[in-house]
Structure 1
Amino acid sequence: MTEERARRRARLASGERGVLVEPAADALTLYAVFTGVPFAVAAYCLTVQRAELGAVGLTFLLVGFAAGVPLALLIGERRRAATLVTEIRATHPLGPDCHPVRTGLNEPGRAPGHPWDTTPPRDAVVSVQDGTLQLRAENGDALDIPFTDILGVLLLPAGRGRAAADLHLHSGEAIELRTTRIRPLGVTLSEAGVRVLFEEVSV
């Protein structure tokens, strides 16, 4: 385990109380608003007030296109995630809330790493059901972790890289679950009774 992850584990092993993660506004809705408003202003300027506000309309049109790029990327990512969940659900019984994640390619450090943490990167789905955290990979691998085996989860907001949930077990092993939707995953875990903490990430 690396020094940084050892520090996270020490924090989880302390008496710090876990938090109940609250849902946040959906990023897709926010991006849609930021994209739709400039297009609406552009449409007005270029049709109703074209003579007086034509240049303004063109400016807002460009702003709308620029704001639409992350929206298009987000929609594409959501579709890929939904496809992954559908494919894995077809072969594995899962809980009601499923979260696409990516695992693997972490350094084991001084202590042996968990196989799901040190193998080559792969897409997987996280779910909780009947007091168990379920991990199901696209290649068919499956892992069930009883809540009693979990020391806690540290949520790492996106800083220098992709956001992740660092899952630590009482055995000393850890599994990093990388995801772009860290808060929904945190909501599911904390509401199910898993101890969850946030870590501030400096950019």
Structure 2
Amino acid sequence: MVLAAVETVTDADPVWATRRHKPDVAAQATARELVHVASPPKSMGWNVYNEPRRAVHERRASLAGNLARHRLACAAHKPNCITRLMAAGISERIAAFVEALPLKPGLRVLEIGCGPGVAARAVARRIGPGFILAIDRSERAIRLARAGSADEMALGCLDFRCVAVEDFALRPGDTLFDIAFAMRVGALDGRHPETGRAALARIKAALKPHGRLFIDGGDPLKEIDRGLPS
């Protein structure tokens, strides 16, 4: 069918019409046309026509490798694996991060910079009778998060709070957290050292003695274990 489409174009194109009588030139041109037809659309997340060929191949290989690794987890019927998370409308980046967190039922989790609550809801589904508190400095983000999390909040496994991480503090009666995590949070990416130190001190105060903090920037996450100030 693709060849038929190319043939139709050549009939209407005088340049192509002359090339049809030169097999070598016609074959090369047709091959280029087929590559164009088979190229991934812009909706795949990058523009293949504006990237160097090597970068395109490297990006394709990276995506294929990530999907292959996570499909193994799905094949093992791991609960809430990345394939199922992505099917629920979660981006590959967030799904991979949540999948890599050392979550188990009953944990208390703190998310810093929750945005509209996509990751928080995914975590809530993985910790069963546990609890996740998700915070963000943006009032609009917290409104969106609450609006999309009515079921989880009704079950008592998820709540949101509008507060900047450097100002965050446990309320009376709050229990310490087992795990804290953050994705794309400016206070923790090293660009704002003073704010970062204040944020880490607040996080440490909210974690249990052996609590763990994870941020993005690894493959797909990394743990900050000695960055917490004493």
Same fold (TM over 0.5): no
Report the structure, 1 or 2, having the larger strand content: 1
Q: TM-score, normalised by structure 1?
A: 0.30
Higher relative contact order (CA 8 A, sep 6+): 1
Report the structure, 1 or 2, having the larger helix content: 2
